[in-house]
Amino acid sequence: MRLGILGGGQLARMLALAGYPLGFRFLFLDPAPDACAFPLGEALHGAYDDLDLLAQLANDTDKLTFEFENISAAALQSLSGIALDPPLEALSIKKDRNSEKALFQELAIPTTPFRTVDGPEDLAAAVQAFGRPVVLKTRSQGYDGKGQRIVRDANDDARALRELGEHRLIAERFIPFERELSVIAVRGSDGAQAFYPISENTHDNGILVRAESRPLDPMTERACALTGRLLERLQYVGTLALEFFEYEGELLANEFAPRVHNSGHWTIEGAETSQFENHLRAVAGMPLGSTAALGAVAMRNCIGTIPDPAPLLRLEGVHAHFYGKAPRPGRKLGHITVRARSEDELAARLAKLDAQLPSFRFSC
């Protein structure tokens, strides 16, 4: 199968690495001429809403998928008869935090209280309803903490509104959560669902910096059940991530990603079948692979700078994944996975990683 991927970043790159062994070939579309997946396949260089390029991408491939949700659902919709998974509806709903939250409500998936905001009066009403601080977010185009402000006092209000563009925002109650969790799930074209062990995640300035696989977490059953509702309602095909806040014993859905997800990168070494391979299997109509854990595993993101690989690679159980991207502050350049036979061994290995590379404590 020849697969067209909208987006040529590290997620597309890791999809390609997982797909060649299954016999896939790849054509990527990305506006960046040096997109890091480009060396691993054929490339179309241009905008995601360029209808000619999209038509070419569809014509030259058997199927389309995407690695990035900030693409034009409208442009894709305008192309007749394209074969695309995950389904366009997942993309359309995800493109607006209001419709995303409304879907959570429809499915009785608990989520943070929210209101739409299109100006100062709406923000004032939200503050009135939720108390301070509130979290103000753009309804679209947000990722890695971009397009968000925590509004702590009245002085912040006007600036936050101005910085975020006044309109098409939502305000959410600020949740002083105990943990951030995510479920990486996959649904096949035959309707089969599979769930990886849940991930416990740590963000820094809105960017994921670490994820730990939690195969025995007490929240597993609840988190997977909620995620399953979303997969079923969307008649989803492919890998999906649903992020939760854990707060006072309940899970509150924060957002979903209709794609492979950074908090599931540990599945490359830490699960029988990676999230990337299972996404491809689903999209190609193949049977899903086992999502069972292979030992204890954790991941660290490399943000802004690329670490010296030699000391890293001397550590037991460490696997490096560099994306071939030029360093830039705040940019995801790679990730490091650590695998061990037990949680105790994993803790010891992580301690060595952190001790040898102090900058790894929160980012590398």
The site for a second copy (CB under 8 A) is made up of 13, 17, 20-23, 25-26, 39-42, 272, 281, 286-287, 289-290, 294, 306, 309-310, 313-314, 316-317, 319-322, 324, 334
Q: Which element (helix H / strand E) includes 12?
A: helix 10-19
Question: Which CB atom, from 63 or from 319, has the smaller least distance to a second copy?
Answer: 319
CB of 218 closer than 8 Å to CB of 181: no
Task: Please state, as a whole number, how many other Cβ atoms lie within 10 Å of the Cβ of residue 127.
Answer: 18
Question: Which CB atom, from 306 or from 357, has the smaller least distance to a second copy?
Answer: 306
Question: Which CB atom, from 17 or from 79, has the smaller least distance to a second copy?
Answer: 17
Kindly state the tokens that stand for 5. 């991927």
Residue (of 242, 194, 195) closest to 93 by Cα position: 242
AA identity, residue 318: V
Question: Which CB atom, from 236 or from 276, has the smaller least distance to a second copy?
Answer: 276
Question: Which CB atom, from 243 or from 269, has the smaller least distance to a second copy?
Answer: 269
Question: Which CB atom, from 120 or from 285, has the smaller least distance to a second copy?
Answer: 285
Q: How far is the CB of 285 from a second copy (least distance, A)?
A: 8
Q: How far is the CB of 349 from a second copy (least distance, A)?
A: 12
Beta bridge partner(s), residue 271:
293
Give the single-character DSSP code of 286: P
Q: Whole-angstrom Cα distance, residue 64 to residue 87?
A: 10
Q: How far is the CB of 340 from a second copy (least distance, A)?
A: 11
- The string of DSSP codes covering 14-61 is HHHHHHGGGT-EEEEEES-TT-TTGGGSEEEES-TT-HHHHHHHHHTS
Q: How far is the CB of 278 from a second copy (least distance, A)?
A: 10
Q: How far is the CB of 37 from a second copy (least distance, A)?
A: 10
Q: Whole-angstrom Cα distance, residue 36 to residue 9?
A: 5
Q: How far is the CB of 208 from a second copy (least distance, A)?
A: 18
